[in-house]
Chain A
């Protein structure tokens, strides 16, 4: 269970730390005015400052016991969290597997795993869908649009 407040705080911290990174990194490019006009770092520096200030405001607002937050104290219930993880974790594993397995094998395995393991579909149907997905990707991208997707380990077999 995650409260609305915790989520607000986490997001504000996330945007704020990105802002700090932008500010720090833009200092390398120089801020201010030089013979060539406005320095390259100035604009990012300013946006970074705005992000940091805005995030601080959102952070403080999240900390305060404001009435708006009290309306929806719980942002994500544990059931919802499980559903979210059920979608996101396999997707992240899929993306992590792409460099090794290649797009085709990884996406086929992904479809199969998502459909067969929670018993959403029977194993043969899941297999068929997984195969169809990989085939469709191959036909549409490699053949029709001449876009080469990563082949991964398949390359070793001459694909």
Chain B
């Protein structure tokens, strides 16, 4: 029960006036970036990063994580009211959320979404409360070889379970590693991969990459399909809010199942987007009213929303206890941790108790703040959506440009950001996954260091990765995940040669 005592201590840190104020600010900014197409949680969080450098790490992470919750909620608002997903992870919410809102029940749709989202988040936080410190304790005994094995497993699970075409995921990952290697090598001190551009010695910041990939890239995808913001009424009937939330327990099975899917996808780095699609698909198959999905079914809203938030929240578990983020936004936050001088991973639970438990406690409070604020501000943000896209688009471009510039006052960063924008657009268009790319940029160096350190210990023998049971299991698990798509492909060809094509087109929808 140590955890509970620590958690109570965490609450004394999280529930203070300045931190509550930060939560409100973070959630509001989060809803804003969640609502605006083209701005999302990853680049919203990286925009805020430079502003947190002067703060205490615990205050900074509370601000950033609250923004993340806000963005997760904000994405659902536009999905339901406008049929425009503000975030990739809330695409599945449009399937039943918008039809229900269009049928004159916008309040029911919104309240159901927020209620189940809060439930999903709660399950995620409870999981973190009880599991994170245990995982960290196990991880304390890790040497470099075990660390490399865990990284390997994380990357392999993107390939095996990410849902994108496996080779495209591999290319995205390897590109991220190469980009992470640009600049000064931390082990030998030699300069790598600058290709004659001296300014690249400082390396390529993940913030620059995120601004381009998610900001400009998403904007280009958004402008391509012209927006028809045909809003349904966005007034909130408060009594209906409580009635809708009170009806939620009737769908207990769907709630629990979706939360479990979400937590699983969040911890293994599948990410919220894959989680929500998967949960929706499973709900449609198993629900008694599965035939009615797509026409405004309650469970069609509950399933993706619960999984989305459960995944978003539990993505922080591996980030905190292992130093491996479970989603793109968690990767950005982890980059922040490193900039603040903290070393993400199990030592946090020993050295930075206040930070860890302050953050975990703030997740409970922050999600409550987020639910209240998002309900209160629905009309305001719905009005925002009526501003024509042509006006918003240049403003988002300027925000991304300034954001990329302010990382290290470098014009080259701005140009690179624009380049990443084109790459982001192409990758989105062709279903290359972006999350592994960002993840590899953030933790590529660490994975490489772990590999080289273990090679030093073993004097160059790969046998160190099979030296004990734990590391062997991790490596074998990783290899199995890498081979999983190949095996699936072969069995599919074995059974029915013709159906292979349709499978991939379904898969392509489920990309982060």
Co-complex (A, B): yes
- CB-based A-B contact count at 8 angstroms: 177
Q: Does A73 contact B (CB under 8 A)?
A: no
- CB interface residues, A 113-133, toward B, < 8 Å: 114-115, 118, 120-121, 129, 133
Q: From residue A31, how far is it (CB to closest CB) to chain B in Å?
A: 11
Answer whether A68 and B188 are a contact pair too, CB < 8 Å, given A133-B398, A150-B405.
Answer: no
The answer to whether B390 touches A94 (Cβ under 8 A) is: no
The answer to whether B195 touches A149 (Cβ under 8 A) is: no
Contacts beyond the supplied A41-B192, A68-B501, A68-B508: 14 A-B pairs with Cβ under 8 Å:
A14-B423, A15-B171, A25-B195, A26-B181, A43-B452, A50-B171, A67-B501, A76-B429, A87-B393, A87-B397, A88-B220, A94-B397, A121-B391, A133-B395
Chain B contact residue count (CB 8 A cutoff): 63
CA distance A11 to B223 in the complex (A): 20
Q: Does A156 contact B (CB under 8 A)?
A: no
Q: From residue B426, how far is it (CB to closest CB) to chain A in Å?
A: 5
The answer to whether B175 touches A15 (Cβ under 8 A) is: yes
Answer whether A75 and B429 are a contact pair too, CB < 8 Å, given A29-B192, A68-B504.
Answer: yes
CA distance A87 to B173 in the complex (A): 29
Q: Does B167 contact A (CB under 8 A)?
A: yes
CA distance A137 to B427 in the complex (A): 31
The answer to whether A58 touches B192 (Cβ under 8 A) is: no
Residues of A with C-beta under 8 A to B63: none
Q: From residue A129, how far is it (CB to closest CB) to chain B in Å?
A: 7
Give chain B's interface secondary structure class: helix
Answer whether A7 and B426 are a contact pair too, CB < 8 Å, given A111-B398, A120-B391.
Answer: yes
Residues of B with C-beta under 8 A to A101: none
The answer to whether A18 touches B398 (Cβ under 8 A) is: no
The answer to whether B181 touches A94 (Cβ under 8 A) is: no
* B369-398 near A? 1/0 per residue, CB < 8 Å: 000000000000000000010110111011
CA distance A110 to B195 in the complex (A): 32
Give chain A's interface secondary structure class: helix
The answer to whether A43 touches B427 (Cβ under 8 A) is: no
- Give the contact stretch, choosing among B13-21, B97-105, B408-416: B408-416
Q: Does B451 contact A (CB under 8 A)?
A: yes
- CB interface residues, B 128-143, toward A, < 8 Å: none
Q: Does A105 contact B (CB under 8 A)?
A: no
Q: Does B511 contact A (CB under 8 A)?
A: no
- CB interface residues, A 53-72, toward B, < 8 Å: 54-55, 57-58, 61, 66-68, 71
The answer to whether B418 touches A43 (Cβ under 8 A) is: no
The answer to whether A98 touches B174 (Cβ under 8 A) is: no
The answer to whether B460 touches A87 (Cβ under 8 A) is: no
Interface CB pairs A-B, < 8 A, 24: A10-B426, A11-B432, A19-B174, A25-B193, A29-B188, A33-B460, A40-B185, A44-B178, A55-B171, A67-B501, A68-B504, A80-B224, A87-B393, A88-B422, A94-B397, A103-B402, A103-B405, A111-B395, A114-B390, A114-B393, A114-B394, A118-B390, A141-B406, A145-B51
CA distance A54 to B433 in the complex (A): 14
The answer to whether B418 touches A95 (Cβ under 8 A) is: yes
The answer to whether A107 touches B398 (Cβ under 8 A) is: yes
Residue of B nearest to A88 (CB): B220
Residues of B with C-beta under 8 A to A7: 426, 429-430
CA distance A94 to B402 in the complex (A): 12
CA distance A47 to B220 in the complex (A): 29
Residues of A with C-beta under 8 A to B168: 54, 58
Q: Does B493 contact A (CB under 8 A)?
A: no
Candidates B391, B405, B455, B508; contact of A149 at CB < 8 Å: B405
Q: From residue A16, how far is it (CB to closest CB) to chain B in Å?
A: 9
Candidates B192, B406, B452; contact of A26 at CB < 8 Å: B192
The answer to whether B455 touches A38 (Cβ under 8 A) is: yes
Q: Which of A10, A11, A36, A80 has the most CB of B within 10 A?
A: A11
Answer whether A149 and B402 are a contact pair too, CB < 8 Å, given A7-B426, A26-B192.
Answer: yes
Answer whether A141 and B177 are a contact pair too, CB < 8 Å, given A11-B427, A40-B192.
Answer: no
Candidates B167, B175, B224; contact of A58 at CB < 8 Å: B167
Residues of B with C-beta under 8 A to A48: 174, 178
A-B pairs, top 6 by smallest CB distance, nearest first, are: A67-B501, A54-B171, A50-B174, A47-B177, A44-B181, A37-B456
Residues of A with C-beta under 8 A to B501: 66-68, 71
Q: Does A83 contact B (CB under 8 A)?
A: yes
Residue of A nearest to B415 (CB): A95
Q: Does B55 contact A (CB under 8 A)?
A: no
The answer to whether B402 touches A43 (Cβ under 8 A) is: no
